[in-house]
Structures are given as C-alpha cells and as structure tokens.
Amino acid sequence: MQEQVLQKVKQYITETEMIKSRCTVIAGVSGGPDSMVMLDILRRLQGDYECSLRVVHVNHGIRGKEALRDQKTVQKICEEWKIPCCVYSYDVPRLAAEWKMGSEEAGRKVRRAAFEEEKKKCTSSDGEIRIALAHNKNDVAETMLHHLARGSGIRGLAALKPVNGEFIRPVLCLERDEIVDYIKETGIPSVTDSSNLEDDYTRNRIRHHILPLMTEEINAKAVAHMAEASELFRQAEEYFKAKAEEMAAGCAGGDGTYLLDKEFFAKETILQNYVVREILERLSGHRNDLTAGHIRQVQKLYENQSGRKISLPYGVEALRCYEGVKLQKKTEEVSERTEEVQELNMEGTTSWVNESFRTRIFPYSGEKILEKKYTKWFDCDKINCELSVRTRRSGDYMIVNQSGGRKKLTRCMIDDKIPGEIRQEIPLVAAKDEVLWIVGGRISERYKITSQTEKVLEITYQGGNLE
C-alpha cells in the first residue's frame, strides 16, 4: 500500500510538473494526517528531484493546549527526519477582529504571511520556490458540494489546481481513505483537530454526513467521480476566462473605456457574463464586490434607452449610449442614485433591486450563534417598528456598544474600511434612521442575541458577494 501510494504521487508530480529539479519545497504541515503523509512522501521522493525540503507550521492561537500539541508533534517528526522546521505563531482571533473578517479568512491570511516570511530566508542558490499544500480529492468534493449548495457558478465548482503559480498540491491525487491507510501502515504520528469533529461548520457537516451518505448509498466512487467532474469544470473555467480576456481586449477603447455593442449582446449569455466580469475586474482592480447581480444590471442596461447610467462598485459606471453599453471609471463626481427602499417582510422573502432577503422568526433556546457573513440573528423582542431595506441616507446611525452609544453610519463604514466608492451601493437593514445591519458587515449592538432573548429574527441576504 505504501509503495503504491508513493508511486501514484510520484507519477502525479511528474505529470503535472509541479516539482522541478533542484528547487526548494516549503511544506505547510499542520500535524494532521493529510499534511504528515504529504511530508513523508516528499521526503522519500526528495532525492528523485534533488530538491531541498523545509517545513512551516502555523500556530493560530485558537485551541490552546491542543494547538501546542500539534506544534510539538510537527517539530518532533521534523527533528527525527532532519527537516528544517519553522513555527509561526499568530493571535488569529485578535487579528480577525482587527481586520474585520472571520477567523477562517484570517487564518488563511496568516498562513500566506508565514509562507512569505519563510520564502525570505531562501537564497538564489535554493532555486525555484514551491509551497506544498496537503489538499486531497475529498477536499475537492467537499468544496464542490459547498459551493454548489450556495448557488455557485463554474468558478466555484472548478477543481483545486495541482499547480497554481508557486503553490502545489502533491497529494491531490489521493482520497482520504488512502491517506488514513498510509498512516496506519507506516505508523507516522498525526494529530486530530477537535474542531474538525464538530458539526458547527458547513464543511464539517458535508464531510461527516453528506459525502459518507453519497458513497454508501449512491456510488462508492462518488468522491473520485466528483473530483473528475470538478477537473472538467476547471478546464471549462480556464477556457471561458481565456476567451473573456480575448474578447475584453477587443472591446477596449484607447481612452480606458470598454464598449459592448450590438454584436456583443448577440453572443451567448455565458460568454457575455465572463466578458462583463473580466472588464469590471480590469476597471475596478478588484474581484470582490462584483456579483452576478452587477453583471445582470449591465446586460439589462442594453435594453434601456440611450442616456441611462448605473453605478457599479469601486467607482465604475455603465452608460447606455447609441453604440451599446460603455463601461468606464467615473470621471467626475456623480449624483447619488435614486434611493431604493423596500419594507422588509418579517417572515418570508423581500425583493430588493436584483437581490433578495429571506427572513424567519423562531424561539430562542440558547443555540450557538454561527458566524455567517450573509446570515445574521437579531433579538426580535427589541424590534418595535417596521424594518426596511435601503441604501444609506443622511442621519443614519448605529448603536455601537451595550450602553447605547451611537456612531454615525459614515463613521462606522470608515472604521470598517469600506471603500468610499461602494458605500452608497451597500444594502442596509434599518428601523427609520437606526441601522441594524450593514449587509456583509457589522450589526447593531442593540439587537444582538443575549441570554434574555426569547425570539430570534433571522435575516439572510441572497444575491451574491459584497466582500
């Protein structure tokens, strides 16, 4: 079994050309089975590629003694195998609060930082740098199901790349069962992150319940088949992305604008989607905050009369002109768009612009509040007037502490580092001038769940990313 897995990974590395001769591989090792097997395989194949190997372990400052156990396990095996190991420690909960993001996102950010720091220690004599991550086929399947459930397009269903720039995934060809068997056969030490055993996170529920059910009740090779399908999605994504880049270049004018003409809008909708997104990314310099709703707005603008204009994130605007639709950066200060206001249904669905909000009320019995960017819980007992969904207006404020302290909404947005270009576009849930939720961001302290809460109002934003 061990030799079969070793040869399988070696063939995969060779086919994907992920490790070049005399390069340096920096392996991210958590101490879990996936990363420990990856490290063992890399050290056994090290001589075949004449590469040097070093390890980075990140202590996220979250799980206390358990995290220290993981760290010591990695350090011990690296000492035994004579592999250089560097531990990077971060206070992720504090950094997540400081950066206004979830712990998972902050964790990814600090891991990237650790790899960058380790790269600085390398010299020109170390050759090309490769950073090895221990994702496997099950990770591909879990990610695919997660994104599918959220209504993702091709990009979200696309497989993790075996090679993505300097990042490589040597054990992406293995299923988790193969990794577990490898551990059992070799006796390599590994640790279990207790948070992976809980069902608090969507990915864990997919891992513990959905995938096992699919393999047991539907198809024993479900994971392998999903990985194959995801690879096809990846190829499709790369094709459409390349096509979009080519077409976007053809739409470019010499003045930094892009013109989508009659011929463009006669093309297949999927091509239009990719091209519009590509152009918006070029003009804005960002991928975040660009949703399917924004793309639909551009397409719908073509159906309107000449002279109509819409504002898009990061100071981008679309103008209906005689020739078609022109996309450009705003050249001058434009007036605020007509305010969209919609009364929020307390139970059911509320349409707003091109998106919607889903609400429900249920009794609170002390359940754990899950941190979700686009689903928030509010103390329903404290809401004593109608709620509305709208954009910001003069006089808006938020309650920012438990003692009832107020802060202007503009100040809250500045503190939260929301770009000025998109502040007017962000939907708000409000009670008159008091804002309960900056969608995608913070909620009012007044309406947070407490031990005295009897009824919960759950509000879910459905319409894309506002990241």
Q: Rounded to an integer, what distance in angstroms lies between the CA atom of residue 118 and that of residue 112?
A: 10
- pLDDT at residue number 285: 85
Which of 150-159, 331-340, 351-360 is least confident?
331-340
Find, among 397, 394, 381, 456, the residue nearest to 431 by Cα.
Answer: 397
**Bridge pairing between strands 375-379 and 455-462:** antiparallel
Mean pLDDT of 21-31: 94
Q: Tokens 């994702």: give the residue.
A: 135
Q: Rounded to an integer, what distance in angstroms lies between the CA atom of residue 420 and that of residue 422?
A: 6
Q: Tokens 């040869």: give the residue.
A: 7
> Length of the chain, please?
467
Angle at 420 between CA 415 and CA 425, to 5 degrees: 110
Strands (E), 31-185: 52-59, 85-89, 129-132, 163-164, 167-168
Tokens of 105: 């996102």
Find, among 371, 413, 373, 360, the residue nearest to 391 by Cα.
Answer: 413
The predicted model scores a pTM of 0.64
Which of 138-142, 195-199, 405-409 is least confident?
195-199
Asked if residue 166 has pLDDT above 80, the reply is: yes
Residue 437, classed as helix, strand or coil, is: strand
CA distances from 248 to 233, 260, 268, 300, 421 (A): 22, 9, 15, 19, 23
Interval 376-411: pLDDT, tens: 999 999 998 889 999 998 889 999 998 889 999 999
What domains can you pick out in the chain, each with its CATH number?
Answer: 2-231 (3.40.50.620), 252-329 (3.30.465.60), 341-462 (no CATH)
CB 207 within 8 A of CB 198: no
Interval 227-277: pLDDT, tens: 999 999 999 999 999 999 999 999 998 888 999 999 999 999 999 999 999
CB 283 within 8 A of CB 328: yes
Which of 49-58, 283-292, 424-433 is least confident?
283-292
DSSP 405: -
Residue 443, classed as helix, strand or coil, is: strand
Note the maximum CA span of the chain: 72
- Tell me the sheet residues that pair with 59: 89
Interval 305-353: pLDDT, tens: 888 888 888 889 999 998 999 999 886 443 444 456 888 988 888 888 7
Mean pLDDT of 40-67: 92
Tokens of 379: 């103390």
Q: Rounded to an integer, what distance in angstroms lies between the CA atom of residue 107 and that of residue 58?
A: 9
**Mean pLDDT rounded to a whole number for the chain:** 89
Cα Rg, the chain, nearest whole Å: 25
CA distances from 440 to 207, 302, 343, 461 (A): 27, 29, 19, 9
Q: In this structure, which amino acid lies at residue 92? A: V
pLDDT band at 146 (very low <50, low <70, confident <90, very high): confident
DSSP 294: H
Q: Rounded to an integer, what distance in angstroms lies between the CA atom of residue 467 and that of residue 464?
A: 9
**Bridge pairing between strands 316-321 and 309-312:** antiparallel
Tokens of 77: 């095996």
Q: Rounded to an integer, what distance in angstroms lies between the CA atom of residue 456 and that of residue 313?
A: 32
DSSP 344: P
Mean pLDDT of 98-121: 89
- pLDDT at residue number 31: 94
- Tell me the sheet residues that pair with 455: 363
